[in-house]
A and B are shown apart, each in its own frame.
Chain A
Amino acid sequence: MFFHWLEKNPFYFALMISVVISFAGLLEIVPNFAQAARPLSTEKPKTVLELAGKNLYVKDNCIACHSQMIRPFKSETDRYGKYSLSGEYAYDRPFLWGSKRTGPDLHRVGNYRTTDWHENHMRDPKAMVPGSIMPAYKHMFTNVADIESAYAEAVTVKNAFFTPYGPEFKRTRAAWEAHRPKVIADAKKIADDMKDEDVKKAVANGEVPEIVAMIAYLNSLK
């Protein structure tokens, strides 16, 4: 009965065909995808300071000009290092592959650039790379990074996606206050390698300028 009805209704017939074919597709795609999207065993979730930097990366739209995806071609690995694996993005929410390379790829920039280079470059890209068309990001030296939201993000992805943050990541103000000195300590490590006195002073006062979070994030890209 059902087939007679189906044969006379082309729309529902087409719909059923798509369901059947999609089901086969699901069986092939989903298990492979689930396997490849598992985090690499060496992969650690980003620290709160690095997460704050990642949020700045999103906010200032670095992805418009920079990719984070090294393809397995010799020409790319010669310049940027080892090709990217999908497991490396497992804790990235959202992942920041990008699809446009006006500037270079940044997926392993932490391997071949240092804190002081980023400091000079963010203030005046042309001073480091004469032909560069990257704009200067001077505001990052004075704006303060939102580390509290970054902590909230860490707690959220821990609860929602089981990202392996430690048991001290809790949804209470006390937990955040207890974690805050750790973030400042991470920031101080970065600021120690920097030359800007105002940035050093701000970190000593318990504030994290955006540039520090940004550099922490860029250094974590390895």
Chain B
Amino acid sequence: MNALTIKALGFAAILIIATIYVVMSMDIDLTDRVNAITMGGAIAIAVITAGVSVKYINQMKTDTATGDLMDDNWDGIGERTNELPSGWAYTFLAVFFWSMWYGLIGYPVDQYSQIGEYNEEVLEHKATYEKKYENASPEVLTSMGKSLYFVQCAPCHGNTGDGLSGKAQDLTKRMSKAQILDVIKNGSNQLKYPMGMMPPGMASGQDAEDIATYIAGGLKGEAPASYAACTSCHGADSKGNAGMSPDLTGYDNTLVSHTLQNGKKGIIGAMPSFKTMITPIQEKALAAYIQSIAQ
């Protein structure tokens, strides 16, 4: 080992140590495949640079040219009549044929597209997401619902779910008296429940008033006699006959899901459908969160 080799090894060592120092101080996760490859590449470059420099600087000190000089020379600079180095020649031929093949046949047309990468990302996420939250606990669903709520629902229903003083449905309560009266008067089939259309005019006058007061009051106390018209479809417990018609007591899972799927237009205004934006698990999560903020 001569002095030059030692210097080069020292230089390579400094480069490697500097690289590792930078990586450590930047808190880079080396278990990530891409980071590990980059790190390996940096170390390889340091070693190869040092190695190649040493080899050729040493060779330059001892090498002498062989072979006959050509007759022609240019300003005193001449060439020798040596054969091409065989390694160089074969590499040249190989690259020539490879580039012909790559340029004309092998070029990966349509191998990559931005949309393709997006589709892969979505499919991969969907698979892990659905597995992870298939049997999620109520707490997990509620916290997922909360974060979803702030992105998709809060702009209209407000951060606390109060409907921004009448600009949207108040999610802490079920329905106001005016809303109930409107539905009784006009009927409704916007949520597309299996029970189908609620016909207009199921009750009127004082009966409708009584029903609306009873439901808006949270179904407490004695039900008015006219309320029997409602229970035939909405169930004796007013909870919607196990998903056949809307729950009148609160926001059960089917009510949240049907509303998100179909949107709704009432006396406050219109809510668009979120069919393409919200997955079934997210619907459950939103229902869990909305149930948690109910008064």
Contact = CB atoms under 8 A, between A and B. Distances in A.
B270 A112 contact: no
Contacts of B164: 120, 127-128
B274 A83 contact: no
B114 interface: yes
B111 to A, nearest CB: 16
A72 interface: yes
B277 interface: yes
A68 interface: no
B269 to A, nearest CB: 3
A128 B156 contact: yes
Contact of B125 (A74, A113, A114, A115): A74
B152 interface: yes
A120 B163 CA distance: 12
B27 to A, nearest CB: 23
Interface stretch (B80-88, B96-104, B115-123, B201-209): B115-123
Contacts of B115: 72, 83
B269 A116 contact: yes
Contacts of B156: 113, 117, 128
A73 B151 contact: no
A164 B269 CA distance: 34
Interface string A104-145: 000000011111110010000001111000000000000000
Interface in B135-171: 151-152, 154-156, 159, 164, 167-168
Contacts of A78: 277
A193 B276 contact: no
A83 to B, nearest CB: 7
B277 A81 contact: yes
B272 interface: yes
A55 B156 CA distance: 27
Interface in A46-81: 72-74, 77-79, 81
B210 to A, nearest CB: 29
A129 B121 CA distance: 31
B271 interface: yes
B118 A114 contact: no
A82 interface: yes
A115 B154 CA distance: 17
B118 A72 contact: yes
A166 to B, nearest CB: 29
Contact of A114 (B117, B122, B269, B276): B269
A73 B155 contact: no
Given A112-B152, A127-B164, A128-B164, A72 B114 contact: yes
A117 B277 CA distance: 19
Nearest to B151: A79
A113 to B, nearest CB: 7
B277 A114 contact: no
A100 to B, nearest CB: 20
B167 A112 contact: no
Contact of A81 (B270, B271, B276): B276
B270 A129 contact: no
Contact of B277 (A74, A112, A127, A193): A112
A92 B115 CA distance: 23
Nearest to A75: B121
Interface in B226-281: 268-272, 274, 276-277
A24 to B, nearest CB: 14
Contacts of B271: 114
Contacts of B152: 79, 112
A81 B164 CA distance: 25
A83 B155 CA distance: 22
B118 A193 contact: no
Nearest to A72: B118
Given A112-B277, A127-B167, A128-B167, A73 B270 contact: no
Cβ-closest 3 pairs across A and B: A116-B269, A72-B118, A114-B270
Interface of B: 114-115, 117-118, 121-122, 125, 151-152, 154-156, 159, 164, 167-168, 268-272, 274, 276-277
Given A116-B167, A116-B268, A117-B168, 16 more contacts: A72-B117, A74-B121, A74-B125, A78-B277, A81-B276, A83-B115, A111-B276, A112-B152, A112-B274, A114-B269, A114-B270, A117-B155, A117-B167, A117-B269, A120-B167, A193-B269
16 contacts: A72-B114, A72-B117, A81-B276, A113-B272, A114-B270, A114-B271, A116-B167, A116-B268, A116-B270, A117-B156, A117-B167, A117-B168, A128-B167, A129-B155, A130-B159, A193-B269
